[in-house]
Structures are given as C-alpha cells and as structure tokens.
C-alpha cells in the first residue's frame, strides 16, 4: 500500500513538472511572436506613409519651375509635409537646382523621401 501511494504522488509531480515546462515554452514563444505580429500589422501603415511622401514630391515637381519653400496636404487619411531648399543653401549642394524632402505620415508612422535635381 505504501509503495502504491508513493507512485501516485510521483506521477502528480511529473505532471506538474511537464505542465510547467509547457507553460514556460508557450510564454517564451508568445513573447517572441506578439511583437512580430504587431510589427507586421504596421507594415501597411508604412507603405501608406511612403506613398503620401511620394505624393508630396510629385506636388513639388508639378511646380518645379518656381516651387514654394513649403508644401503640405492630405491624401486619403494620410498627410505629407514637403521642404524645398534652393541649391547652394544649407546642406543642398550648389550643383543642384533644388533639394526636396518630403515626409509622409499615416497613423503615427512616418516615411521620408529626399530628392535633388
């Protein structure tokens, strides 16, 4: 009788040990996967922000003969801000006519494009 009760107690300990190992593995994997899933869901925001910045560049290139120094606008829920610097001023080299930096924003995600011409 004593040995049978001892075997039952050992099996309960084995079960507790195996279950605790499985919990540790599952918590470790979820700690890795949850940030990755969050990042993947925000990739779409990055693409929209990039295209908003591209729209800002196109806006300046339409007026490329005499561009303003600052543009801003919205496109389908995203926004852009464009800064135009004349060649030879600040960080814009004298070999360029203009240096253009456009920043697109969508749901707290920002992407920028910079061109020189």
- The domain limits of the chain are 2-116
Phi, psi of 108 (to 5 degrees): 65, 15
Q: Domain 2-116: which CATH class?
A: alpha beta
Does position 34 have pLDDT exceeding 80, yes or no?
yes
The confidence score (pLDDT) of residue 4 equals 56
Does position 32 have pLDDT exceeding 80, yes or no?
yes
Cβ atoms of 110 and 102 closer than 8 Å: no
Query: pTM score, two decimals?
Result: 0.69
Q: How far is CA 2 from CA 6, 8, 10, 14, 54, in A?
A: 6, 10, 13, 19, 79
Quote the Cα angle for 111-53-61, to 5°: 145
């Amino acid at each position: 009788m004593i040995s049978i009760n001892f075997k039952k107690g050992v099996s309960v300990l084995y079960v507790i040990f195996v279950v605790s190992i499985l919990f540790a593995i599952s918590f470790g994997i979820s700690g890795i996967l949850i940030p990755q899933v969050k990042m993947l869901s925000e990739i779409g925001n990055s693409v929209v922000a990039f295209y908003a910045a591209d729209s800002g560049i196109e806006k300046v290139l339409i007026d490329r003969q005499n561009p303003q120094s600052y543009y801003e606008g919205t496109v389908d829920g995203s926004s852009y801000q464009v800064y135009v610097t004349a060649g030879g001023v600040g960080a814009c080299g004298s070999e360029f006519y203009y240096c253009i930096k456009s920043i697109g924003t969508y749901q707290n995600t920002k992407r920028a494009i910079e061109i020189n011409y």
